[in-house]
Amino acid sequence: MDDVIIIGGSFAGLAAALQLGRARRKVTVLDTGLQRNRFAGRSHGVLGHDDKPPSAILAEARQQLARYPAIKLVNARADSISGAIDNFSVLTGEGESIGARRVILSYGVVDQMPDVPGYAEGWGKSIIPCPYCDGFEVAGQHWGLVWSGPQSMNQVRLFHDWTDRLTVFADGHDVTSEIRADLAGRQVPLVDGRITEIAHRWGHSATVKLDTGPDVIVDILFAHPRTKPSASLHETLGLATVNTPTGIALKTDERRETSTPGIYAAGDLANPGIPSVTTAIWQGAMAGIFAQQSMIT
């Protein structure tokens, strides 16, 4: 039996594995290789790894983990979890059953692309979610923001640090008169109407087509589609969740343990705040350490 099974072997999962492997705990990492930022050419803001392709950061991490004999990286999907603390059983897509005393869930979330032509094609290139990830590279350019609710006003305030040229797209949302006045005071145009198509040119330019009014061209478009966990294992287990502006996150305590004893969670799957590679690595490392500490006698 393993000490820990980690489900999801990207930034959070591999960080957990590193701590466990260094503590000489036997750990299996199951991963399907679809990390959230795979659509982006480069990853930013990760100390020591700034401006590298995300896949290169993960490849380097996997290479470093090969040093630890207690860590086994398996390219497989986890299909189900049963049992209880000290005796969990995880069934893989290949039908293999793996036993472990603890489980760490780090299977991330999926961005759900709206049914708008050009949206999915531009995701990670001319449509991006986060100014900390890619804002520096397009600072001073004409930014667009797809409104997703009152929380979008925080983005408007935030974006001033990167650009003075911002256009907001209401995209069918009912934007209140107070917000309209605030935007006008900041000289931020608000374009009403629903987005019907997004066309891309030169990789980093988006032409936003609307059901009312003329097209609007921006250099880069920020958007926050709804998210959903990449797997439903937490649902079957009945784990507690909290709402986030775009979906849900697993609820954990300060030791990253979920509502079920012995099951820990880390990374975007369990982050109701600002998702990032750095946060995922930190939460993963903590989940690994606390899972290990829970097994000492």
The residues of the shown chain that bind ligand FAD, judged by CB under 6 A, are: 7-8, 10-13, 30-37, 39-40, 43-46, 77-78, 106-108, 111, 124, 128-129, 133, 230-231, 267-269, 275-278, 280
Please report, to the nearest 10 degrees, the dihedral formed by the alpha carbons of residues 27, 32, 33, 37 taken in order. Answer: -100
| Cβ-based nearer residue to ligand FAD, 23 or 249 | 249
As measured in angstroms, the least distance from the Cβ of 281 to ligand FAD is 8
Burial-class residue 94 by CB neighbours within 10 Å (0-12, 13-18, 19+): exposed
Contacts by 199-202, CB closer than 8 A, 24 or more apart: 199/118, 200/118, 200/121, 200/122, 200/125, 200/126
| Cβ-based nearer residue to ligand FAD, 44 or 142 | 44
- CA count, 13 A, side-chain hemisphere, 19: 21
As measured in angstroms, the least distance from the Cβ of 205 to ligand FAD is 17
As measured in angstroms, the least distance from the Cβ of 75 to ligand FAD is 9
Amino acid at 91: L
| Cβ-based nearer residue to ligand FAD, 129 or 210 | 129
Residue 204 has which token pair? 């980093």
As measured in angstroms, the least distance from the Cβ of 153 to ligand FAD is 22
Contacts by 248-255, CB closer than 8 A, 24 or more apart: 250/105, 255/286, 255/290, 255/294
As measured in angstroms, the least distance from the Cβ of 192 to ligand FAD is 27
| Cβ-based nearer residue to ligand FAD, 75 or 176 | 75
Amino acid at 286: M
Residue nearest to ligand FAD (CB): 267
| Cβ-based nearer residue to ligand FAD, 118 or 267 | 267
Helices 152-159 and 177-185: angle between axes, nearest 10 degrees: 10
